[in-house]
């Protein structure tokens, strides 16, 4: 039976030994809180049934993904479709486009990528 497992945490954590910061959230926003790991595991049956999606996942593995891309990706992995669906929001699609325009939200505050990078 084809199967996948997706792991995508909502945020990272600052550890004192990495850069002198600890915890998460305001008043400082560090890359450790926003640059987080994610993965999609697939079994052999899924890979055989959906080689196009597996190939797209591999091609998109090094691209920036955002939490709002997870819904579209999970639906795509399960072959769920709807009118107006956007391939650009699924990193299991050849049409995936990283969202570099939307701001990040931290503690209800919109934070720009520049603000995160400036605090390195």
In this predicted model, what pLDDT tens digit does every residue of 12-54 receive, in sequence order?
777 777 777 777 665 667 777 777 888 999 999 999 999 999 9
- At 19 the three-state DSSP class reads helix
Mean pLDDT of the chain: 84
Percentage of residues of the chain with pLDDT beyond 70: 79
pTM of the model: 0.77
Taking phi over 0 as left and psi of -120 to 50 as alpha, with beta for the rest, 20 belongs to left
- Rg of the Cα trace of the chain? 16
CA distance 28 to 3: 39
pLDDT in tens, 61-86: 999 888 889 999 999 999 999 999 99
pLDDT at position 37 is: 84
Q: What is the pLDDT of residue 87?
A: 95
Q: Where are the alpha helices (DSSP H) in the chain?
A: 16-19, 31-34, 44-49, 51-60, 70-77, 113-118
């Amino acid at each position: 039976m084809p199967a996948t497992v997706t792991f995508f945490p909502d945020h990272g954590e600052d550890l004192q030994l990495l850069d002198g910061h600890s915890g998460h959230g305001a008043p400082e926003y560090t890359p450790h809180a926003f640059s987080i790991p994610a993965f999609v595991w697939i079994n052999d049956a899924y890979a055989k049934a959906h080689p196009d999606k597996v190939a797209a996942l591999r091609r998109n593995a090094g691209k920036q993904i955002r939490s709002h891309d997870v819904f579209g990706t999970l639906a795509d992995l399960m072959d769920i479709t709807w009118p107006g669906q956007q391939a650009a929001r699924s990193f299991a699609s050849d049409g995936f486009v990283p969202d570099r325009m939307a701001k990040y939200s931290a503690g209800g505050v919109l934070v720009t990528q520049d603000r995160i990078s400036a605090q390195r």
